[in-house]
Amino acid sequence: MIEIAPDTAFLLYIGLMLLLLLGTWTYHLYRSSKRKLVLTEYELSVCEYCHFAYLATRGDKLSRCPQCKALNKEGR
Ligand SMILES: [Zn+2]
């Protein structure tokens, strides 16, 4: 059997744990970057004048509130 000093064994243990953490972190970053899906072409908007919630087409700069017919900016 291979004999190693306790401090060498400790350094090997710490190095292996750091490699495991780095691998897990890299794997998680890779998986979360591939998981960005656009499920619908609509996004939920809230009218800034009457606070009516409606679905606006994603990517449009302006959307018209179906209740008060006012124009709202994207992401409101
Ligand atoms: Zn409105």
Paired tokens of 21 = 């953490």
Which pTM value belongs to this model? 0.46
Distance 61 CA to ligand 1 centre (A): 16
End-to-end CA distance of the chain: 68
Count of residues in the chain: 76
Q: How far is the CA of 39 from the centre of ligand 1 (A)?
A: 25
- Evaluate whether 52 touches 68 at the Cβ level (below 8 Å): yes
CA 33 to chain centre: 8
The pLDDT of residue 43 is above 80: yes
Which residues lie at CB < 5 A from ion ligand 1? 47, 49-50, 52, 65, 67-68, 70
pLDDT in tens, 4-40: 899 999 999 999 999 999 999 999 998 888 776 667 8
Element spanning 29, H or E: helix 6-34
pLDDT band at 74, cuts 50/70/90?
confident
CA 59 / ligand 1 centre spacing (Å): 19
- The alpha carbon of 76 and the centre of ligand 1 are apart by a number of angstroms equal to 11
Residue 22 sits at φ, ψ, to 5 deg, of -65, -40
